[in-house]
Amino acid sequence: MPDSQSIYDSVGGREAVEAVVSDFYDRVFDDPVLEPYFEGIDREALYAHQVQFISAVAGGPVSYEGADMRAAHEGMGITEEAFGRVATYLGEALRENGVAEGNVEAVLEAVGALEPDVVGQ
């Protein structure tokens, strides 16, 4: 694999990211600690934005059109524990869909850097 290939391409592009995000939200909505945060949310819009967001983080040719991370999570009182669970499910969804370990770690590192914008706002 050439070094210049993005994570987005190496995992299989749009279809692969969609599979990961769908699997990710199945896990999130199944978790009784997390589900209440998502009550009354437009799940289709959330899914569409998450596909864009993960694609952009993975270096894909996709621009993210949602709110910035701080604004998107403001006023929700998201705890460190909830953040940890969400990050865990993202990792599981990536691995479950065949994403190589190095790429899983790169995505989780990028997402982990967002914790100050998501937690406690």
The pair of structure tokens assigned to 39 is 């009550």
Structure tokens, 40: 């009354």
Shortest distance (Å) from residue 121 CB to ligand HEM: 10
Specify the residue for token string 């289709």. Answer: 44
* Closer to ligand HEM by Cβ: residue 2 or 32: 32
Write the DSSP symbol of residue 34.
T
The interface region with ligand HEM, picked from 2-10, 19-27, 76-84, 93-101 by CB under 6 A, is 76-84
According to the binding rule CB under 6 A, does residue 72 interact with ligand HEM? Answer: yes
End-to-end CA, the chain = 40
For residue 97, what are the contacts with CB-CB under 8 A and spacing of at least 6? Answer: 11, 16, 19, 20, 23
- Taking CB under 6 A as the criterion, the residue among 12, 13, 59, 66 binding ligand HEM is 66
Q: Which residue has the tokens 């959330």?
A: 46
> Count of alpha carbons within 13 Å of 11, Cβ hemisphere only?
32
86 near ligand HEM (CB under 6 A)? yes
Indicate the residue whose CB is closest to ligand HEM: 66
**Comparison of 11 and 86: residue with beta carbon closer to ligand HEM:** 86
Chain residues that interact with ligand HEM, rule: CB under 6 A? 34, 37-38, 41, 45-46, 49-50, 53, 66-67, 72-73, 78, 82-83, 86-87, 111, 114, 118
